[in-house]
């Protein structure tokens, strides 16, 4: 497609990876802020951070026992004091001497070995060897700088900050971390058949469930979600919803992205000043996906165009495209080093028929290294989504495979949903 050309129904659908990479390249540029380390859970590091200190700053004991000189083996030794965590021994260990030491305590000057307490017997201030000395003799000692040294890089840019990263940053002497500001996401449900929560349903109506589902998928990220709708299938109503979402960095719509008489998202986007970047992806479910952008005009904090991601309305289609497109876009905007999900290999529990003309993402259950396809693969089936914890990836025109064959799988519960 030529730059600036409007994609049409005659434009071939894009391959999955091409569409994903194209979408990620459009990620808005969010301002960087410095947040307290303890408040950075779920954010992505905007710049690398280095250690302000060395850890440990001095040799420490890794076990409870006695600190002494290895040259004095096999003993006995005279106990001259104690070194506890936070309370180091102030003297020096000389020949024939030992210091009682606890885990995490500073190794006294002169000592180069820790004899485990279960390998020693003490009577008064006298310690004798009853077990086996450590081999090598420095085995139970954590040397200075074992964890990290001052000025060493602790975390690379794009690292997702979780509990371990918070601990490392604080241990390295950091009080604040550079991260992108929270992302503002607007989710618009559209469709005449949709009814909001708590309202009575006629036979031709269904509850609006895609918006809450997509919001829940984004919940593990530093995203401020605004839900709008359900919005009726009228261009003016959809345009009004888009204007209501004018302050969002990213707008995600659900429904109305296809080419039917009542699929009005495309003309509504045009009326709202959105330029379509691409439309339709060669996947199943989720072919009628669209991506557009428009200038904000909503204040200096918006340095990049607003991105609009139009997802299909069928629940399975919305979920799959949310996983493959919405979440990578959110992660890329927040500064993730790796925005796209990864597959893992799994064994088929049953035979798999040949694939169709598009790449397919089959709802499945992954247990014990094997994956079982859900019998209900209709794009409108929510029960299959609720039963599934994986998506089996089938490339276009993939050959039939017997049970036991290896296939790529996205894990939905642990596979980088957030």
pLDDT tens, residue by residue, 55-75: 999 999 999 999 999 999 999
Closest to 27 (Cα-Cα) out of 326, 273, 368, 349: 326
pLDDT at site 196:
84
CA distance between the termini of the chain: 32
- What lies within 8 Å, CB to CB, of 321 at 6+ separation is 281, 283, 285, 286, 289, 311, 312
- Average pLDDT in the 326-340 region? 97
Q: How confident is the model at residue 258 (pLDDT cuts 50, 70, 90)?
A: low
**Tokens 């276009």 label which residue?**
396
Of the candidate ranges 92-106, 282-296, 349-363, the one whose mean pLDDT is the lowest: 282-296
CA distance 311 to 264: 13
Q: Is 70 exceeded by the pLDDT of residue 415?
A: no
Opening angle at CA 217, ends 391 and 169, nearest 5: 105
- Average pLDDT in the 43-58 region? 98
Q: How many percent of the chain have pLDDT more than 70? A: 93
Going by DSSP bridges, is the β-strand pair 120-123/126-129 parallel, antiparallel, or unpaired? antiparallel
Q: Which domains does the chain have, with CATH numbers?
A: 16-31+181-333 (3.40.980.10), 34-51+150-179 (3.90.105), 60-85+92-142 (2.170.190.11), 344-411 (2.40.340.10)
CA distance 222 to 203: 38
42 touches 222 (CB < 8 A): yes
Find residue 408's DSSP bridge partners.
Answer: 345
Q: How confident is the model at residue 3 (pLDDT cuts 50, 70, 90)?
A: very low
Instruction: Write down the mean pLDDT value for the chain.
Output: 92
pLDDT at site 193:
87
CA distance 286 to 275: 21
CA distance 391 to 408: 9
Say whether pTM exceeds 0.85: yes
Pick 120 or 11 by higher pLDDT. Answer: 120
Of the candidate ranges 48-57, 293-302, 346-355, 370-379, the one whose mean pLDDT is the lowest: 293-302
Find residue 279's DSSP bridge partners.
Answer: 290
Of the candidate ranges 20-34, 153-167, 254-268, 324-338, the one whose mean pLDDT is the lowest: 254-268
Tokens of 186: 């607007």
328 touches 23 (CB < 8 A): yes
């Amino acid at each position: 497609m030529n730059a600036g050309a409007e994609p049409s129904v005659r434009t071939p659908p894009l391959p999955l990876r091409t569409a994903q990479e194209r979408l990620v390249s459009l990620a808005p540029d969010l301002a960087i802020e410095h947040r307290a380390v303890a408040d950075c859970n779920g954010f992505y590091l905007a710049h690398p951070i280095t250690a302000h200190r060395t850890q440990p700053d001095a040799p420490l004991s890794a076990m409870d026992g006695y600190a002494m000189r290895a040259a004095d083996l096999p003993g006995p030794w005279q106990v001259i004091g104690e070194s506890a965590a936070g309370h180091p021994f102030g003297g020096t260990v000389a020949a024939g001497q030992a210091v009682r030491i606890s885990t995490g305590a500073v190794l006294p000057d002169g000592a180069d070995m820790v004899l485990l307490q279960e390998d020693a017997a003490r009577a008064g201030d006298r310690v004798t060897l009853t077990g086996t000395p450590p081999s090598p003799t420095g085995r139970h000692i954590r040397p200075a700088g074992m964890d990290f040294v001052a000025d060493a890089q602790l975390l690379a840019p794009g690292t997702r900050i979780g509990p371990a990263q918070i601990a490392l940053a604080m241990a390295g002497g950091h009080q604040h971390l550079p991260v992108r500001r929270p992302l503002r996401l607007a989710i618009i449900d559209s469709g005449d058949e949709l009814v909001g929560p708590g309202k009575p349903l006629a036979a031709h109506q269904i509850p609006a469930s895609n918006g809450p589902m997509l919001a829940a998928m984004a919940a593990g990220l530093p995203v401020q979600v605004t839900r709008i709708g359900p919005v009726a299938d009228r261009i003016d109503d959809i345009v009004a919803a888009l204007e209501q979402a004018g302050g969002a960095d990213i707008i995600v719509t659900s429904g109305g992205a296809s080419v039917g008489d009542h699929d009005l998202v495309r003309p509504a986007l045009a009326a709202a000043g959105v330029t379509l970047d691409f439309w339709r992806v060669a996947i199943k479910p989720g072919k009628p996906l669209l991506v557009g952008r428009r200038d904000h005009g909503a204040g200096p904090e918006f340095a990049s165009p607003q991105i609009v991601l139009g997802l299909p309305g069928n629940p399975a289609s919305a979920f799959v495209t949310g996983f493959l497109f919405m979440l990578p876009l959110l992660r890329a905007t927040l500064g993730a080093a790796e925005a796209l999900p990864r597959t893992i290999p799994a064994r088929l529990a049953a035979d798999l028929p040949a694939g169709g003309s598009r790449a397919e993402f089959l709802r499945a259950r992954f247990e014990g290294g094997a994956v079982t396809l859900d019998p209900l693969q209709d794009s409108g089936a929510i029960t299959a989504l609720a039963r599934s914890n994986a998506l089996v990836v089938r490339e276009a025109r993939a050959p039939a495979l017997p049970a036991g064959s290896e296939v790529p799988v996205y894990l939905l519960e642990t596979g980088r949903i957030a």
